[in-house]
Amino acid sequence: MTQSRPDPRAPVASATNLQQLVISVDAMGGDRGPEAVIGGLELAAAEHPDARFILHGDQAVLTPLLDQKRSLSSVVTLRHAVRAVTMHDKPSQIMRSGQDTSMWSCIEAVRLKEAQVAVSCGNTGALMAVSMIRLRRLRGVTRPAIACLWPSRNQAGFNVMLDVGADVKADPEDLLQYARMGAAYARTALSLDVPRVGLLNVGTEEHKGRPEMRTAYELVQEASEDGAFSFEGFVEGGDIPGDRVDVIVTDGFSGNIALKTGEGTAKFVGEVLKSTLRSTLLSKVGALLAMSSLKKMQLRIDPRRVNGGVFLGLNGAVVKSHGSSDATGVAAAISLACQLAREDFTGRIAAQVAPAAAAGQDAASDGEGASN
């Protein structure tokens, strides 16, 4: 049965690799308005000259902004949408009546295969809801997840963590899917052959944590036997920026809390550092001398550099950029989208996760048969 499964590490020969690279970008809904999105688009387009973009939003607002960016005229197609989703809109409302929004239009371009990947800075809940009902879940996936890249001690400089907030709940079977999808994402985003996967828990011993964590442990352990990833067992919060694993798997409640605690702590330490360096004349001079190194450090831990949570488990890839992203942040999200599109990420995940899920069911029945 193992033989019948595709090797997840083999390159996927897909039509997508040959066709035009197109990214669908929602211009509206970010905290800094369409200016930040178009600024980011300009930066990303310069970095990816082979990419084309469909930009969704209010024509009357976007046309004058685009007119100022000559370099974009040949690579951007404007698609008018009368309405924008706000941060206060409820996901359920947008699901029912969001057809005229730029967000909906942005996802629709991926559904219709006009673009390979969608990017939006808008309301996360609404974006997930629209993505779910329009793109639908991949076969074998019960709960889609949001994966993020996390600055770490690893050689790649980042770890993958998921779910960071798609769903507050996850069963052991969901955690197994997250492990598979997270490993696939790490292969593409971090260029790793066999990513090391860990399950987030409150201790590293096998008997620790909630009972469902122990079930998940066994499922992930068993699934790792096909060689698509290696399973390192339970990891703790301290391993998220560490080098023990490449992929940290958890439910969306704990993942979101960890993500925001980590971001908040890094920001707090940065503030204390700044006020420290301003506290005496000597340290001011010192800071001045160390300035260029300190700037490099800021870049190393700057969340904007890795801006973009990726929705995994849908028939199409969606990159969620931070709501407060500036041009640098939006450019990072669009660049990530280009990378995912270039490597036919959606095709890869589908090839790995969906048959794996089917095989997993077979294996479960086989296993039952064998043990009875």
290 binds its own copies (CB under 8 A): yes
- Indicate which single residue of 10, 15, 18, 282 sits in contact with its own copies (rule: CB under 8 A): 282
Give whichever of 113 and 169 is closer to its own copies, judged by the CB atom. 169
Which listed range, 53-61, 217-225, 274-282, 304-312, lies at the site for its own copies (CB under 8 A)? 274-282
Whether a cis peptide bond, with omega within 30° of 0, leads into 163 is yes
State the nearest-atom distance from the C-beta of 234 to its own copies, in Å.
11
13 binds its own copies (CB under 8 A): no
3-state DSSP assignment of residue 198 = strand
State the nearest-atom distance from the C-beta of 348 to its own copies, in Å.
29
Give whichever of 8 and 262 is closer to its own copies, judged by the CB atom. 262
Give whichever of 184 and 259 is closer to its own copies, judged by the CB atom. 259
3-state DSSP assignment of residue 50 = coil
Kindly list the distances between the CA atom of residue 287 and the CA atoms of 14, 75, 103, 265, 271, in Å, as whole numbers in the listed order.
51, 43, 44, 21, 14
In the window 291-330, what residues touch its own copies (CB under 8 A)?
291-294, 296-297, 300-301
Give whichever of 252 and 316 is closer to its own copies, judged by the CB atom. 252
Which secondary-structure segment (H or E) carries 249?
strand 247-249
Taking the alpha carbons of 136, 137, 143, 146 in that order, is the dihedral positive or negative? Answer: negative
Is 254 exposed, middle or buried, given 0-12, 13-18 or 19+ CB atoms closer than 10 A? middle
State the nearest-atom distance from the C-beta of 244 to its own copies, in Å.
11
93 binds its own copies (CB under 8 A): no
Among the listed residues 66, 79, 75, 148, the one whose alpha carbon sits nearest the alpha carbon of residue 109 = 79
Which listed range, 134-142, 183-191, 285-293, 319-327, lies at the site for its own copies (CB under 8 A)? 285-293
E-strand spans in 31-141? 51-57, 76-80, 117-120
Q: Using an 8 Å Cβ cutoff, are 146 and 128 in contact?
A: yes
In the window 59-78, what residues touch its own copies (CB under 8 A)?
none
Which DSSP symbol is given to 217? H
Which listed range, 37-45, 68-76, 151-159, 359-367, lies at the site for its own copies (CB under 8 A)? 151-159
283 binds its own copies (CB under 8 A): yes
Q: Using an 8 Å Cβ cutoff, are 12 and 351 in contact?
A: yes
In the window 227-256, what residues touch its own copies (CB under 8 A)?
236-242, 250, 252-254, 256
Which listed range, 54-62, 173-181, 279-287, 334-342, lies at the site for its own copies (CB under 8 A)? 279-287
State the nearest-atom distance from the C-beta of 197 to its own copies, in Å.
17
Among all chains, which residue has been given the structure tokens 């690279």? Answer: 21
3-state DSSP assignment of residue 336 = helix
Give whichever of 117 and 197 is closer to its own copies, judged by the CB atom. 197
Among all chains, which residue has been given the structure tokens 């969608």? Answer: 118
Neighbours of 59 (CB within 10 A): 13
| 317: β partners | 117
Spatial distance between the Cα atoms of 6 and 52, rounded to a whole number of angstroms: 31
State the nearest-atom distance from the C-beta of 168 to its own copies, in Å.
5
Among the listed residues 46, 149, 29, 143, the one whose alpha carbon sits nearest the alpha carbon of residue 89 = 29
- Indicate which single residue of 263, 302, 339, 347 sits in contact with its own copies (rule: CB under 8 A): 263
165 binds its own copies (CB under 8 A): yes
Among all chains, which residue has been given the structure tokens 């294996």? Answer: 363
Give whichever of 100 and 271 is closer to its own copies, judged by the CB atom. 271
- Indicate which single residue of 170, 258, 351, 359 sits in contact with its own copies (rule: CB under 8 A): 258
Phi and psi angles of residue 142, each rounded to the nearest 5 degrees, phi first: -90, -45
State the nearest-atom distance from the C-beta of 84 to its own copies, in Å.
20
The number of residues that bind its own copies (CB under 8 A) is 59
The angle that helices 172-189 and 345-371 make with each other, rounded to 10 degrees, is 140
Footprint on this chain of its own copies (rule: CB under 8 A): 151-153, 165, 168-169, 200, 202, 209-210, 236-242, 250, 252-254, 256-273, 276-277, 279-280, 282-283, 285-294, 296-297, 300-301
